[in-house]
């Protein structure tokens, strides 16, 4: 079949940009008006509120670091303060970099993309800045004492770059070094060691991967007495080889299953399994001495063993303890583990909530056993606390409430999927008389957990709507098995799960198909496209953000090849046989009861190509279906580079759904 809309894959050609401008004008014209303006303003108030709390990080030098956006600083401030100041209602923040001022001075549109601080010393850092929010960044060395970019310091041009400090005069660089230096996924294939004062072209090659690897990177652990260097070769999305780099440059492969995660803290080595290994089950977390492992020992202590309802979410080291975040039926708990012989000991940490999410914000593993911990729920704004293992936990900040929740409730149900699997989902709302909004993701072992959103609260719940979060297979809610159950040829299980939740909502009388809208982004946008084309009778409206939709060509667009392990390779006949069964773009048909659809994307998204959304919208219109497109020029994969753009995106989503699901109330 000849693709009539292949030309829409041209990113910013003279033909495409006017077409995009026309679609944006249509969408804003169709959804604009007083109601949209009020909604956008209400959302903007939430995003810009100076009463929001920050979730700072530690860099090891005693300061609390934070990146902050508000109405006065739309591109943001990188800043820091002391603990004593942070405890105050209005801390005295020391501004290190004002991105808005930088843009004005350089006539640029930089967005903040992260920082790597030199340890020890803490006087220099490598700041990553992206034009318009893309994944590609420029890297520039910054002086934390004088608050200036370093003249003749380390500088890297725009590319998908990974850097790390080795010492004050050497860094690891994985970037675009020219022809042949990138993988087929568009990431670095080569990592080098670069010495200050020398040309990048003379940097020493540390490792070169294969063209079809996902990416290569390297890092340095500066922990005193445990200084180590590593090379990471990401073979596939969930297949990685780890190498220890000796002082002379020798690379020693860490002999682990390639689908396992690996971490070292001082003398300890952690292994997180995605498949059974030796006598240990998939989903387990193991510990042993790192040097003992390198010497050939294979005896581990099992720190976490999953069960059918409980999985490991994350872990964080303090100086002497390991903090584990686990999840049982999508509700989190946190424990502190202490190394010991013959067994490690465990104690629960306070601060969890029913139908809530608790997470470790940060620790300072080089210096002490303090930790920052946060907890929130659908109706409970976040609380940020400071604790120390074995000591007290003190509340530092409480986030404000942005909507009235007294008459709202949270319930959890389980739907039965087509193969009999129980699929959990949460329902948030009041009397159920308004429309319902269902969301999901179902990919890459990423769990969706209860979270507080002032945007969702003001824009949906406060208007009488019901919100539903589905925890379908493909995600990480029940560990690696939950993810692997929906990989490749089994992808349809994720879609059957989501359809089962939709059907269960109707069966329980919570909503009706005409009043049920759905939204999702990225892989969740693919989910929306499948729901639109495979289960159109279940829904009244669909919004897909930065979506994958043309699965025949996804590997040929931007970072698409890096996801072959998740979806399969459409250029392999056997894989295309199961991909084409659900690929939304290839499954658009005439005379089907497709609900109205809105697609949101970004010209600067260099991860998922905007061509997916453009082409899908155009093809639906060709067949006479109601379809809108909004493409923000900036924003990268988040489709918004600042709060004004984010408010527009969120308001378009919620206004579109409300009008289509409650036409008499819009």
Predicted confidence at residue 342, as pLDDT, reads: 79
Name the domain count of the chain.
Answer: 5
Other CB atoms within a 10 A radius of the CB of residue 73 amount to 18
Does residue 356 register a pLDDT over 90? no
Percent of the chain with pLDDT over 70: 99
Residue 401 banded pLDDT, cuts 50, 70, 90 = very high
44 inside domain? no
Predicted confidence at residue 663, as pLDDT, reads: 77
CATH of the domain at 629: 3.40.50.1820
The verdict on 608 and 515 lying in the same domain is yes
Q: Which pair of tokens denotes residue 575?
A: 């894989």
Does residue 666 register a pLDDT over 80? no
The verdict on 136 and 174 lying in the same domain is no
Tell me the per-residue pLDDT of 264-312, one tens digit each, with 9 for 90 and over: 999 999 999 999 999 999 999 999 999 999 999 999 999 999 999 999 9
- CA dist., res. 472 & res. 154, Å (int): 45
The verdict on 417 and 550 lying in the same domain is yes
Tell me the per-residue pLDDT of 215-270, one tens digit each, with 9 for 90 and over: 999 999 999 999 999 999 999 999 999 999 999 999 999 999 999 999 999 999 99
Tell me the per-residue pLDDT of 514-545, one tens digit each, with 9 for 90 and over: 999 999 999 999 999 999 999 999 999 999 99
CA 479 to chain centre: 17
Asked if 492 and 581 count as a contact pair (C-beta separation under 8 A), the reply is yes
Please tell me whether the overall predicted TM-score, pTM, comes out greater than 0.95 for this model: yes
Residue 350 banded pLDDT, cuts 50, 70, 90 = confident
* Residue 210 dihedral angles phi and psi, to the nearest 5°: -90, 155
- CA dist., res. 334 & res. 326, Å (int): 6
The verdict on 456 and 489 lying in the same domain is yes
The verdict on 214 and 328 lying in the same domain is no
Q: Which pair of tokens denotes residue 89?
A: 């209602």
Query: Which 3 state secondary structure label does DSSP give 631?
Result: strand
Segments forming the whole domain that contains residue 177:
160-221+227-258
Predicted confidence at residue 231, as pLDDT, reads: 98
The verdict on 336 and 283 lying in the same domain is no
88 inside domain? yes
37 inside domain? no
Does residue 351 register a pLDDT over 70? no
The verdict on 524 and 621 lying in the same domain is yes
The verdict on 314 and 299 lying in the same domain is no
Predicted confidence at residue 349, as pLDDT, reads: 87
Predicted confidence at residue 354, as pLDDT, reads: 65
Predicted confidence at residue 131, as pLDDT, reads: 95
Active site residues: 522, 637
The verdict on 561 and 609 lying in the same domain is yes
46 inside domain? no
In this structure, is the dihedral angle defined by the CA atoms of residues 257, 258, 261 and 267, taken in order, positive or negative?
Answer: positive
The verdict on 144 and 237 lying in the same domain is no
The verdict on 382 and 240 lying in the same domain is no
Residues 427/402/462/439 CA torsion (nearest 10 deg): -40
Region 652-657 average pLDDT: 98
Q: Which of 381, 400, 419 is the last residue of a domain?
A: 400
What b-and-e string marks burial along 168-202, b requiring 16 or more CB atoms within 10 Å of the CB? Answer: eeebbbbbbbeeebbbbbbbbbbbbbbeeeeeeee
417 inside domain? yes
Does residue 352 register a pLDDT over 70? no
521 inside domain? yes
Predicted confidence at residue 341, as pLDDT, reads: 77
Tell me the per-residue pLDDT of 47-95, one tens digit each, with 9 for 90 and over: 999 999 999 999 999 999 999 999 999 999 999 999 999 999 999 999 9
- CA dist., res. 136 & res. 108, Å (int): 15
Other CB atoms within a 10 A radius of the CB of residue 404 amount to 12
Does residue 416 register a pLDDT over 80? yes
Predicted confidence at residue 394, as pLDDT, reads: 94
Helix axes 16-31, 611-622, angle to 10 degrees: 70
Closest CA relative to residue 196, chosen from 171, 233, 178, 220: 171
Asked if 580 and 552 count as a contact pair (C-beta separation under 8 A), the reply is yes
Mention every residue, 6+ apart, whose C-beta is less than 8 A from residue 654. 39, 459, 460
Q: Which of 122, 137, 158 is the last residue of a domain?
A: 158
Asked if 419 and 497 count as a contact pair (C-beta separation under 8 A), the reply is no
Predicted confidence at residue 431, as pLDDT, reads: 80
Output the average pLDDT for the chain: 96
Q: Which of 118, 143, 158 is the last residue of a domain?
A: 158
47 inside domain? no
Tell me the per-residue pLDDT of 576-619, one tens digit each, with 9 for 90 and over: 999 999 999 999 999 999 999 999 999 999 999 999 999 999 99
131 inside domain? yes
Other CB atoms within a 10 A radius of the CB of residue 589 amount to 10
Tell me the per-residue pLDDT of 187-203, one tens digit each, with 9 for 90 and over: 999 999 999 999 999 99
The verdict on 609 and 465 lying in the same domain is yes
Tell me the per-residue pLDDT of 206-218, one tens digit each, with 9 for 90 and over: 999 999 999 999 9
Does residue 631 register a pLDDT over 80? yes
Q: How far is CA 439 from CA 14, 298, 635, in A?
A: 36, 43, 22
């Amino acid at each position: 079949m000849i693709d009539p809309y292949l030309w829409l894959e041209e990113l910013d050609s003279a033909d495409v940009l006017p077409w995009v401008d026309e679609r944006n004008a249509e969408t804003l014209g169709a959804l604009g008006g007083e109601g949209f303006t009020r909604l956008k303003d209400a959302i903007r108030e939430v995003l810009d509120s100076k009463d929001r709390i920050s979730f700072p990080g530690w860099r090891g030098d005693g300061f609390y670091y934070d990146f902050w956006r508000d109405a006065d600083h739309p591109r943001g401030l990188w800043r820091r303060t002391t603990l004593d100041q942070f405890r105050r209602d209005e801390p005295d923040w020391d501004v290190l970099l004002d991105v808005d001022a930088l843009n004005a001075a350089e006539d640029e549109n930089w967005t903040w993309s992260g920082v790597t601080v030199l340890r020890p010393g803490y006087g220099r850092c490598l700041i990553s800045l992206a034009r318009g929010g893309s994944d590609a960044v420029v890297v520039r060395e910054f002086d934390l004492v004088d608050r200036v970019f370093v003249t003749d310091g380390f500088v890297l041009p725009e590319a998908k770059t990974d850097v790390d400090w080795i010492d004050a005069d050497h860094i690891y660089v994985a970037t675009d070094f020219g022809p042949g230096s990138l993988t087929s996924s568009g990431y670095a294939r080569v990592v080098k060691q670069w010495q200050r004062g020398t040309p990048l072209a003379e940097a020493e090659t540390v490792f070169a991967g294969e063209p079809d690897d996902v990416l290569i990177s390297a890092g340095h652990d500066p922990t005193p007495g445990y200084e180590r260097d590593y090379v990471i070769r990401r073979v596939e999305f969930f297949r990685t080889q780890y190498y220890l780099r000796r002082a002379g440059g020798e690379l020693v492969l860490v002999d682990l299953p390639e689908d396992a995660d690996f971490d070292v803290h001082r003398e300890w080595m952690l292994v997180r399994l995605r498949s059974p290994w030796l006598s240990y089950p998939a989903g387990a977390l193991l510990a042993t001495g790192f040097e003992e492992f390198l010497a050939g020992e294979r005896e581990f202590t099992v720190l976490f063993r999953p069960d059918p309802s409980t999985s490991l979410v994350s872990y964080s080291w303090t100086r002497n303890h390991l903090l584990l975040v686990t999840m049982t039926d999508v509700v989190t708990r946190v424990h502190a583990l202490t190394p010991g012989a013959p067994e490690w000991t465990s104690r629960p940490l306070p601060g969890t909530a029913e139908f809530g999410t608790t997470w470790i914000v940060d620790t300072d593993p080089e210096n002490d056993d303090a930790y920052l911990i946060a907890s929130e729920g659908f109706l409970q704004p976040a609380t940020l606390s400071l604790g120390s293992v074995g000591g007290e936990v003190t509340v530092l900040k409480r986030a404000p409430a942005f909507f009235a929740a007294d008459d709202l409730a949270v319930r959890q149900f389980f739907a039965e999927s087509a193969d009999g699997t129980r699929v959990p989902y949460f329902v948030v709302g009041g009397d159920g008389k308004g429309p319902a909004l269902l969301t999901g993701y179902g990919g890459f072992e990423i769990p969706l957990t209860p979270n507080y959103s002032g945007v969702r609260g003001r824009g949906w719940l406060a208007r009488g709507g019901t919100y539903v979060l589905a925890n379908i297979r493909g995600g990480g809610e029940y560990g690696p098995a939950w993810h692997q159950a929906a990989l490749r040829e089994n992808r349809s299980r994720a879609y059957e799960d989501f359809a089962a939740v939709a059907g269960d909502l109707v069966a329980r009388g919570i909503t009706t198909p005409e009043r049920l809208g759905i939204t999702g982004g990225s892989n969740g946008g693919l989910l929306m496209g499948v729901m639109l084309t495979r289960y159109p009778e279940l829904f009244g409206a669909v919004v897909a953000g930065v979506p994958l939709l043309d699965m025949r060509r996804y590997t040929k667009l931007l970072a698409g090849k890096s996801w072959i392990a998740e979806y399969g390779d459409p250029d392999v006949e056997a894989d295309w046989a199961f991909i084409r069964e659900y690929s939304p773009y290839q499954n658009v048909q005439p005379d089907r009861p497709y609900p109205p659809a809105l697609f949101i994307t970004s010209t600067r998204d260099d991860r998922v190509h905007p061509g997916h959304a453009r082409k899908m919208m155009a093809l639906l219109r060709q067949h006479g279906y109601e379809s809108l497109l909004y493409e923000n020029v900036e924003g990268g994969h988040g489709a918004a580079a600042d709060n004004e753009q984010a408010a527009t995106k969120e308001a378009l989503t919620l206004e579109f759904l409300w009008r289509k699901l409650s036409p008499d109330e819009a």
